Structure 1
Amino acid sequence: MFQRRRSAVALRHVAFEDLGLLAPIMEREGWNVSFCEAPVDDLSHSSIRDADLLIVLGGPIGVYETDSYPFLTREIDLLERRLAHGLPTLGVCLGAQLMAKALGARVYAGGVKEIGWGSVTLSDAGRASSLSPLAEGSPVLHWHGDTFDLPDGAARLASNENYENQAFAFGSNALALQFHLEADPRQLEEWYVGHAVELAAARITAQELRAKTAKVSKIVARQADRVFTNWLGQLRHSDAASKTAHAG
């Protein structure tokens, strides 16, 4: 029987922080993905508001900088609506922070800037979630200086020594990741250029990051495939269960 391909919209803040490793997984799992440029596009359009899945990507600004970047308020409004209705939503880095804000949590500058490959520790809820392939010490890419409080009603999935809230789930259809599972090691050369000023301020060189990336590139591709395939599969089962319930 023919199965409808589902629609996903990826909200992008800067061109080089895109779907990365997630793109081929989405294609394989039956999703049609379109991009929306968050700073300039109409975020109230029905194609975005009612997409089967909304993915909110990263960017080098803070959720609290709404005076400088008014579109952030429109993003938060969009996320409030989707999360209130249980619509499938994935947030990465800035996207995770925007989800936390939309759920009423505080987002603020953290005490440590995390840039580079590190790890996270899964909570009991995290080990029972789609993040289960992230074994202790699995390499993930951190690239942030902000953090957030855990929203009411959310389940903490991952932490590390610097930040208690590295990932959370809200209901069965929303996942927020402070770290970058989607980052494609081959495309990080664009990040080194795009974030050159930030790297210089943090006294981190592209050479350092490049060397560490080469060591983990095969591992991160495998674990991204497993985590995102798990999560998209959960969405499919959740959608099927919802349709069965409504039919009944």
Structure 2
Amino acid sequence: MKILAINSSAHMTYAEAGTIARVAEEKGAVLDWWNRGSGPLPEAEGYAALILFGGEMSVHDPVYRDYFDAVAALVHAFHEANRPVLGSCLGAQILAHAFGSKVYQGPVEYGFARLTLTEDGKEDALLSGLNNELDLFEMHGDTFDLPQDAVLLARGAAVPHQIFRMGNATYGFQCHFEVTPDIVEEWSSRHSGTGDRITPLVARDRPKVREDLRTLQDSQVSFAETVMTRWLELAAL
């Protein structure tokens, strides 16, 4: 099974795909890694599914409008062919944009957030049977309105739109459930000197994030393995 994996970040490497890439490879899938700036976006034809990873950009930044519109068109090509799509953080925001919703600056989240499954989430193909409350890693400063016809699967206290589904197999996750402690250390170091909205939280909360990773990472990995296994099963149908 060949999966197109889009990296919009100027910094992110394949190693930062974390548990998402590990589980996909363990299940026999091949991620075809495409970086922004690598040339024209690939066509959907020939791929079983699409993964959109995170990044430091903002969907609402006019500098990147043409790029995000092009990715949105690709999302629709997969979605309309009923080929599964998964968006993580910026990827979820791209999905919201693709389906006509506004993406905008919101509360900054850095660290683990408690998410609560909705009634729809409890019955969802990826999330059913999991804990109704989930502690998952977040690192973002933008949020989005829920697209029309989207099904909200999990909400958070600070950022309500956390996990949603469009149709049967297109999923947006505002959280970064794929991270490992090494990935979080790398991202935290990058943000330490940027002066962006996340920088003060990194300076203040980095010790707590390290401690939370020691106590919460095992359950996050279990969540990621379950979700990715079930999502890959959709891609194999």
Instruction: Report SS of the residue matched to 1:21.
Output: helix
Give, in whole Å, the separation in 2 of the partners of 1:42 and 1:115: 32
2:113 to 97, 115, 118: 118
Distance 1:132 1:195, change over 3 A: farther
Contact 2:149 2:166 in 1 (8 A): yes
Q: After superposition, where does 1:62-141 map in structure 2 within 5 Å?
A: 62-68=58-64, 70-110=66-106, 112-129=107-124, 130-132=126-128, 134-141=130-137
Q: After superposition, where does 1:73-222 map in structure 2 within 5 Å?
A: 73-110=69-106, 112-129=107-124, 130-132=126-128, 134-196=130-192, 197=194, 198=196, 199-202=198-201, 203-222=203-222
Distance 1:156 1:205, change over 3 A: closer
Instruction: Report SS of the residue matched to 1:195.
Output: helix
User: Partner amino acid for 2:155?
Assistant: S
Give, in whole Å, the separation in 1 of the partners of 2:208 and 2:65: 32
Cα deviation for residue 234 of structure 1 reads 3.0
Distance 1:124 1:233, change over 3 A: same
Q: Which moved more, 1:14-23 or 1:163-172?
A: 14-23
Contact 2:88 2:174 in 1 (8 A): yes
Partner of 1:45: 42
Cα deviation for residue 43 of structure 1 reads 4.0
Cα deviation for residue 50 of structure 1 reads 4.6
Distance 1:69 1:106, change over 3 A: closer
- Asked if 1:8 is matched to 2:7, the reply is no
* CA offset digits 1:37-73 (Å, max 9, x no partner): 02x0234333x56521110000112101132564223
Count of matched residue positions in the alignment of Structure 1 and Structure 2: 229
Cα deviation for residue 85 of structure 1 reads 3.2
Query: Alignment identity in percent?
Result: 27
Partner of 1:23: 21
Partner of 2:225: 225
Partner of 1:243: none
Q: CA RMSD in A?
A: 2.0
Distance 1:93 1:147, change over 3 A: same
Cα deviation for residue 154 of structure 1 reads 1.4
Give, in whole Å, the separation in 1 of the partners of 2:41 and 2:26: 29
Distance 1:122 1:43, change over 3 A: farther
Cα deviation for residue 148 of structure 1 reads 1.0
Instruction: Report SS of the residue matched to 1:51.
Output: coil
Distance 1:128 1:89, change over 3 A: same
Structure 2 segments unaligned to the other structure (5+ residues): none
Give, in whole Å, the separation in 2 of the partners of 1:189 and 1:49: 36
Instruction: Report SS of the residue matched to 1:15.
Output: coil
User: If the length of structure 2 is used for normalisation, what is the TM-score?
Assistant: 0.87
User: Partner amino acid for 2:135?
Assistant: P
Contact 2:152 2:165 in 1 (8 A): yes
Contact 2:86 2:172 in 1 (8 A): yes
Cα deviation for residue 206 of structure 1 reads 2.8
